[in-house]
Amino acid sequence: MHLNFLIYSYFPFGGLQRDFLRVATECVSRGHKITVYTLSWDGDIPDGINVILVPVTTRNRIKRNEAYTEWVQAALKQRDDSLVIGFNKMPLLDIYFAADPCFMEKATEQRGFYYKFTSRYKHFHQYEEAVFAASRLTEVLILSPHQRTAFEKYYPGCGSRLHQIPPGISEDRKVDAIDKEIGTQLRTELGLASTTKLLLQVGSGFRVKGVDRALRAMAALSESELENCHYLLIGQDNPDRYLRLAKRLGIAEQFTVLAGRDDIPRFLATADLLLHPAYSESAGYVLLEATIAGLPVLTTSSCGYAFHIEQAKSGLVCSDPFEQSQLNSYLARMLGDLDTADWSKNGLEYGRQDELYSQASTVANFFDEFLARKA
């Protein structure tokens, strides 16, 4: 069968993009023909995947999305036997893979009154309605219970079309025991002492990931705690704003930023704590990747996969609504308890569940069942 994947952009280090590529690769292995419509592709193209770069040149995001939709709609008219799968919210979709949080929840709870009168609000509300409105038929694959709650709240009647799927953790991230030699080597590369507490954050899009919150929590540590800590941020984004904030907070010497990279497991094996106080995130794969690597996690309940941290008892989760003082307190508490708490052991045990690594096959099975019903 011909499967059409719609995704605005692909780059190697995004969680949404990694989900997309794993699913597409699994579908190729089952003999499906895959065509991807995208505005940009950064990285190698796997065998069996046909990538079509949609010729849209405008830099205005709203006009870009609309032009993309119009172009793809015309192209899809030539493919009556195909299935249309989207990894961004938009019209045209048979199935939507919900890697993003509910737009209306963010617009209502995190934006001011006048935001609803902007062109941005109207566009993204319209595109979300095209998937979730009660009159629509699009089937939706969700990643967390939090997404179900939000989508059912803002789009009553969509609940029967929401299907929760397992996490998309790669099998190669499973860890039986922490390799301390890796940590010793990497600390030498980073110029960190063996006694320095390394706080790690991984993720592209620093604003949404709550890097400002993390820096303020670092700055709130006591002088003795701070001089023995280092905060390492890895991801694709412009760090200048946060380097300036660290300088204003007096912690510039304790803060390092590295670009996105492929050897994240080395850092998970080396760090003492994953710090991930995101504002909003539908999943947050790094939370699970850290947990199954035995790295304690401090995060916020607005992350879809925060419930895994609570189930695994592999760290602490800040309450909703978020309060900076609670994050500050939890950070100091976890740093003090790292040597005695069971967070690391609990995470390694949690990582032994086979379901954590079954997303791609589960999603491909859903596509096959959908195709069978359609036929």
**Per-residue pLDDT tens digits for 39-92:** 999 999 999 999 999 999 898 999 999 999 999 999 998 766 679 999 999 999
How confident is the model over 318-335, as a mean pLDDT? 96
How confident is the model over 202-214, as a mean pLDDT? 94
Check if the beta carbon of residue 311 is closer than 8 Å to that of residue 240: no
Composition of the chain by helix, strand, coil, percent to 5? 45, 15, 35
How confident is the model over 275-295, as a mean pLDDT? 93
pTM: 0.82
pLDDT of residue 13: 75
Q: What is the tens place of the pLDDT at every residue in 110-137?
A: 888 999 999 999 999 999 999 999 999 9
pLDDT of residue 350: 95
Amino acid identity of 206? F
Q: How many CB atoms lie within 10 A of CB 311?
A: 11
Our CA dihedral for 57, 59, 64, 65, rounded to 10 degrees, sits at: 140
How confident is the model over 364-369, as a mean pLDDT? 96
Query: CA 207 to CA 182: how far, in whole Å?
Result: 30
- Report DSSP letters for 43-86, one per residue: S---TTEEEEE-------HHHHHHHHHHHHHHHHTT-TT-EEEE
pLDDT of residue 279: 92
How confident is the model over 14-32, as a mean pLDDT? 93
Name all domains of the chain by residue range, CATH numbers in brackets.
2-166+358-374 (3.40.50.2000), 171-353 (3.40.50.2000)
Mean pLDDT of the chain: 94
pLDDT of residue 28: 97
**Residue reference for tokens 């995190």:** 110
Is residue 35 pLDDT above 90, yes or no?
yes
Q: Is 95 exposed, middle or buried (0-12, 13-18, 19+ CB in 10 A)?
A: buried
In the chain, the percentage of residues whose pLDDT exceeds 70 is 99
Q: What is the tens place of the pLDDT at every residue in 162-192?
A: 999 999 888 878 888 888 889 899 999 999 9
Is residue 375 pLDDT above 80, yes or no?
no
Is residue 319 pLDDT above 70, yes or no?
yes
Query: CA 92 to CA 89: how far, in whole Å?
Result: 10
pLDDT of residue 80: 63
Strands 40-41 and 83-86: unpaired
Which tokens in the block code for residue 144? 């967390």
Residue 143: band (very low, low, confident or very high) from pLDDT cuts 50, 70, 90: very high
